[in-house]
Structure 1
């Protein structure tokens, strides 16, 4: 087998096409996407990351999105068991990767991490619930009303609330204008499902919902620290669920850190159940 590795800061159109095809093949085989939304957006838009492309006999057989705090990689289902996963992992570590995501918590990924001397340091739960099952109506705090996000007007204020709400979160709190602009350009973006809690003209919180492939998602729920303890987070969550239900969707999912027990308890109280796990190794 003739194997070669390429390092890219930007992918060519042909490399983008090949990487997306490989990722789709792995997702079909494994039942879970191997690269996060962030990594998928990077393929198209670029940014501060690098890509490793491993070719076997002239065809793309492995792909890695490399960032120090969030590296991901995937091997084509037809090329597994040939040492390409370890090649990708070693190459990513040489490029400065410190934290590696494995989507789906597969035993093979855990074994590869152990062989490289990496430990499990974080777990992200996927939870879901049927929208046909009843849930309470939202009760907004006094003085708060809901409205839809206004593209072109709300971005900067939203970034401020998001930054304060997720000040200690390793990813969400670092969002920039570029991050929100990229998502506004996606086919799934719908401002009607981007709910803003308004208190006297000031943004107090938000629930950004997402619909893709017929499944709803609690994409991001954030509350300004000045509103914590008012019940706004629960009310926003319920309002988003009602929005997704009224769109005729049958299922809603969300992601939450396993160690964020208050959030896990909130979602469990609203009928969500643990469905899958993404694991970070370092």
Structure 2
């Protein structure tokens, strides 16, 4: 993929656009921003671009995108989450804070599902649609398929990032196991509020993309440094709360599988000295373009 266009040295500046970047959290936010800048540079996002960001959440990727497109670009940031969703900072608080910064005029926030938003603006087009670590939030694979269908003719390119289900760093193996455990538990629920609801692999995403007329223009796998996602997600799976959730499942065979999955995660975590040492697994990064037959 292309060369770096946004220097990683600006990460602390962009991190400060988030209310989460307090005195004790600036380092964490800076690491998150660096990862998003690496994605943006791989996707070749450039100035002047009009971006449709789907699943923006608290703006972790929105701020780097707004910085990258510059004062003549714009980001439509879409998320269905209610204003009071999130802790310790809610979506509304994060978005309001970011809107008051120098990049605020480059961002328009929209509360809607991606499909609702696109159907409500049938004539609007963008240069690029971005789905950064949001596909696992979808209710099912059908949601992704429908979204890719609706995006036809609306964007020139779709940029995706999701965990790769691969652990190049041995310290990320617990994260990989925890992800499978969490995804297995959440698929049993009618309504889930967790960040892994549909555990779909990069190969699965590519299959859906091709079936809806999108070609994989470019793809790569990044090995993130210092991200805390693996630490956080593993911590929830080895917790007593997760065990209690398993015990409430009526299907005994499924309960047994989930207990074993949690145990595997716990043993792998203990084997590297505890949750504090868990790294984040690899991240798959890709760009999609509509094939000639679908245009």
- The two structures have a TM-score, normalised by structure 2, of 0.33
Question: Which structure is higher in helix share?
Answer: 2
- Larger relative strand fraction: 1
TM-score of the superposed pair, with normalisation by structure 1: 0.34
Structure showing greater radius of gyration is 1
